[in-house]
Amino acid sequence: MENEIKILVVDNNTNVTSKIKEQFSSHAVIKVVNTIENGADALDYILKNKNEFDLLIMDLILPEVDGLTILARMKEENIKKKVIVITSYKKEYTINMTNNYGVSYYMLKPFSMLALETRILDLANKDLVKSQELSENEKQIHVAISKLLHQLGIPSHIKGYSYIRESVFLFYQNSEAYSGITKEIYPEVALRYATTASRVERAIRHAIEVSWTRGDYDLMEEIFGNSVAFDRAKPTNSEFIATIADRLRFDHKLLHI
């Protein structure tokens, strides 16, 4: 098939590999070409069959040879594949190491098969419309967030734009997370973009500073006037994220009155 995405799955957890195989067993585009549980076997397969797969889905903790070693060997051999790391290991040092090897995405276990499918299609740059990716309501929320961020003067090409959009969406889904924006939402966004929580925080801070010099003043005063000292200081990251999410909730209620 011309648009087929061939994936190799490396994980010593048979429950995970079985679920992935089942999820894509009859998929129109995604095909699991092999599942391997041992790191040494995986490295051997990759070196000998580099043209047999398009995308590698791999845990870092493996028997005999770990995931980082596999990534290092792939770099040495100039085997350029898109890689999704799936793991329960979330140390910033390890995430930084995977960045050095060109990992496209870092997913923390447990993850949903639907989220994995979405990331595979995104990474493969397939121009496909999957009704299962997001519900219509979630799509509307994403569009509303993007529209509001543009009105607030945040350009879409800077990293903070994507991080804010993802953070607002996560907070919108769970309004109880305010106290955990730093401890919960930043790490989640960092995992989704294969970066670190501290970099997410800095990029969001920069995006807010850009907004404060480029945005629609009247809109900013309308949105933030009651939640921050608009004339004295910019909102904190947490205030910005929470206030945008609250505004979206308010607009959503008006649409359904």
Q: What residues contact 237, with CB distance under 8 A and at least 6 apart?
A: 181, 201, 204, 205, 208
pTM of the predicted protein model: 0.52
Q: What distance in Å separates the CA atoms of residue 151 and residue 128, rounded to the nearest whole number?
A: 28
* Cβ-count burial 174-194 (b if 16+ within 10 Å, e if not): eeebeeebeebbbbbbbbbbb
DSSP 233: -
CA-CA distance, 137 to 124, in Å (whole number)?
25
Residue closest to 44 by CA, chosen among 18, 73, 87: 73
In sequence order, the 6+-apart residues with CB closer than 8 A to the CB of 91 are none
Compute the distance between CA of residue 239 and CA of residue 167 in angstroms, rounded to an integer. 12
Domain ranges of the chain: 5-123, 136-255
Positive or negative: CA dihedral 102, 47, 23, 64 = negative
The CATH fold assigned to 136-255 is Arc Repressor Mutant, subunit A (1.10.10)
HEC string for 57-107: EECCCCCCCCHHHHHHHHHHCCCCCEEEEEECCCCHHHHHHHHHCCCCEEE
Q: Count CA atoms closer than 13 A to 237's CA, side-chain side.
A: 24
> CB within 8 A of 36, min separation 6: which ones?
8, 9, 10, 42, 45
Contact yes or no for 145/166 (Cβ under 8 A): no
% of the chain with per-residue pLDDT over 90: 36
Task: Give residue 127's pLDDT.
Answer: 36
Region of residue 33 (left: phi > 0; alpha: psi -120 to 50; beta: else): alpha
With DSSP H G I counted as helix, E B as strand and the rest as coil, what are the percentages for the chain, rounded to 5? Answer: 55, 10, 35
What pLDDT does residue 228 have?
A: 53
Superfamily of domain 5-123: Response regulator (3.40.50.2300)
Dig out the tokens for 240 from the structure: 């910005």
pLDDT tens series, the chain, 257 aa = 445 789 999 999 999 999 999 999 988 788 999 999 999 999 999 999 999 999 999 999 999 999 999 999 999 999 989 999 998 877 777 777 777 788 888 888 888 888 888 888 777 654 333 333 456 677 788 888 998 898 888 988 898 999 999 899 888 877 665 566 777 788 778 767 767 788 899 999 999 998 888 877 788 878 887 555 545 567 889 989 988 988 888 776 544 43
Distance, CA of 182 to CA of 111 (rounded, Å): 21
Q: How many CA atoms lie within 13 A of 78 on its CB side?
A: 0
Give the chain's length: 257
